[in-house]
Amino acid sequence: MKLHELTIQAAHELLQKKEITSLELTRAMLDRIDAVEEKVNAFLTVSAEAAIEQAKAADRAISGGNCQPLAGIPVAIKDLICIEGMRTTCASRILENFIPPYDAHVIGKLKQAGAVIVGKLNMDEFAMGSSTENSGFKLTRNPWALDRIPGGSSGGSAAAVAADMCIGAIGSDTGGSIRQPASHCGVVGMKPTYGRVSRFGLVAFASSLDQIGPLTKNVTDCSLMMNTIAGHDPADSTSVPMDVPDYNAALAGDLNGLTVGIPKEYTTMEGLDSEVADAVQNAVKVIEGLGAKQIAVSLPNTEHVVAVYYVIAPSEASSNLARYDGVKYGYRDKEQDNLIEMYRSTRSKGFGPEVQRRIIIGTYCLSAGYYDAYYGKAMQVRTLIMEDFKKAFESCDVILAPVAPTPAFKIGEIVDDPLTMYLSDIFTLSANLAGIPGISVPCGFSQAGLPIGLQILGKHFDEKKLLRVAYHFEQATDFHKKKPGL
């Protein structure tokens, strides 16, 4: 096996035995980026020099006996998480030259663990999109089929892991932005419970929905990254002060006596591709064969999920993005001599069409006379969606569902059809609205050879159970072992 193909666990074992060094591993990763990046376009910034220095520091720590699970492991970061001294653009022209003066909490945790950060990854601008076609800089391609989207908004993160350009990546999930690209690129992606991982240093899109999480080559690696990034942070008021369990230890045990719920609203969903439905059904059978029991559950407010999300998320985005006005930081249109015109022109030139669309929708929903009818009503229905899950989890341990209604679609196929694009998140949005954890694990391939993911949803702070189910399913199948033929 080549060095760039290693998993976190395998690389950690080799580093621990001193059979390889972090410097060798990091150089192999940078060589791999040189070899395939121009095909995939996953990176916005490659920080080769800084990565080499971090690798040398990791080697010194390892030779001194300090070999933590992520020590010396090359990882990459979605470009809306702040790293001190490294450009952070959110894939937007408005932040093209922004260099943060501090590290996000998760970056501090990764650095403490000795991880090597090789660069920042492409995404939909300000995390608004499902295909990474809304980046202000480049178009990321799916490593399995270069004419297909990698998913979004963490498309660069999923594509980089699938193409072996980093051993693991960090993304963010506001409505499926980790799970959906993980499904499309055949990797594992987890959205933790809201409040489980600090959002300090994450550039905000929709503050009540955003959550940071890992994208990895397998479930074991996902648990190792969760062990590192989860935990309370006093700098984030929404971070929950709970102890972090050992997620890696939680993979042990079996699935005997576990009850899995299948939402009847999902199985009859209009627009669900038959290949996706079959792959998910087969995955349910495998999990049943491992000792779990299947029951039907109901999530009656599923039909309102897309409408509720596309009122709440743009409303919060409209508020969060008001700070980009060309005054304190970011792009400024210097041709205007009138303050109001400068604001208008800066935002018109700095934001792409999808971001502008969502700001306009959100501002409208929050405006006087419409607030109660739209935002107020959406928040009431959000409570009903939470109650649906609460009730469903009274009779089951986890819920199994598709991640996306179809495999990855062709680049440009629905970019001009916002409604169809929004509907592609139908299965992932509800977990963000309810604040519950979800994971995508590879569960099959379409006839065209495109990956399909199984989504496992759980109760608040029950990531351990999700990881256990995902791990046992993964061990019983070999979908995660297949690689794109780049």
Surface-to-core class of residue 256, CB atoms within 10 Å of its CB (0-12 exposed, 13-18 middle, 19+ buried): exposed
Phi (first) and psi of residue 467, to 5 degrees: -65, -35
- pLDDT tens-digit readout, 164-182: 999 999 999 999 999 999 9
Active-site residue, 78 included: yes
pTM (whole model) above 0.85: yes
Active-site residue, 177 included: yes
Phi (first) and psi of residue 221, to 5 degrees: -60, -35
The full set of domains in the chain, from first to last, is: 3-248 (3.90.1300.10), 303-379 (no CATH)
Tokens 């001194």 locate to: 64
Per-residue burial over 370-389, b if 16 or more Cβ lie within 10 Å, else e, is: eeeebbebbeebbeebbebb
Q: Is the pLDDT of residue 239 over 90?
A: yes
pLDDT at 349 (0 to 100): 95
Q: What is the DSSP string of 79-114?
A: TTB-BTTB---TT-GGGTT---SS--HHHHHHHHTT
Which residue out of 22, 47, 78, 465 is catalytically annotated?
A: 78
Q: Is the dihedral of CA 351, 403, 197, 64 positive or negative?
A: negative
| Closest of 474, 147, 164, 433 to residue 316, by C-alpha | 433
Q: Is the pLDDT of residue 372 over 90?
A: yes
- pLDDT tens-digit readout, 60-72: 999 999 999 999 9
Q: Is the dihedral of CA 456, 200, 115, 174 positive or negative?
A: positive
Phi (first) and psi of residue 121, to 5 degrees: -110, 150
Which residue out of 153, 183, 239, 315 is catalytically annotated?
A: 153
Average pLDDT over residues 109-135: 98
| Closest of 121, 201, 188, 186 to residue 155, by C-alpha | 121
- pLDDT tens-digit readout, 408-444: 999 999 988 888 898 899 999 999 999 999 999 999 9
Q: pLDDT category, 86, cuts 50, 70, 90?
A: very high
Q: pLDDT category, 457, cuts 50, 70, 90?
A: very high
Are the C-beta atoms of residues 169 and 151 closer than 8 Å to each other? no
Per-residue tokens: 473: 């399913």
CB atoms inside a 10 Å sphere around CB 51 = 24
**DSSP symbol at 410:** B
Q: Is the pLDDT of residue 269 over 90?
A: no
Average pLDDT over residues 326-334: 90
Per-residue tokens: 88: 């952070």
Are the C-beta atoms of residues 175 and 209 closer than 8 Å to each other? yes
Q: What is the dihedral of CA 320, 322, 324, 327, to 10 degrees?
A: -130
Q: 291 — alpha (psi -120 to 50), left (phi > 0) or beta? A: left
**DSSP symbol at 244:** P
How far is 466 from 455, CA to CA, in rounded Å? 10
| Closest of 131, 111, 229, 220 to residue 183, by C-alpha | 131
Average pLDDT over residues 190-209: 98
Which residue out of 177, 198, 239, 446 is catalytically annotated?
A: 177
Q: Taking all residues of the chain, what is their mean pLDDT, rounded to a whole number?
A: 97
Cα distances (angstroms) measured from residue 420 to each of 101, 168, 301: 39, 30, 20
Q: Are strands 188-191 and 438-445 parallel, antiparallel or unpaired?
A: antiparallel
Are the C-beta atoms of residues 310 and 362 closer than 8 Å to each other? no
Q: pLDDT category, 267, cuts 50, 70, 90?
A: confident
| Closest of 135, 231, 143, 188 to residue 7, by C-alpha | 188
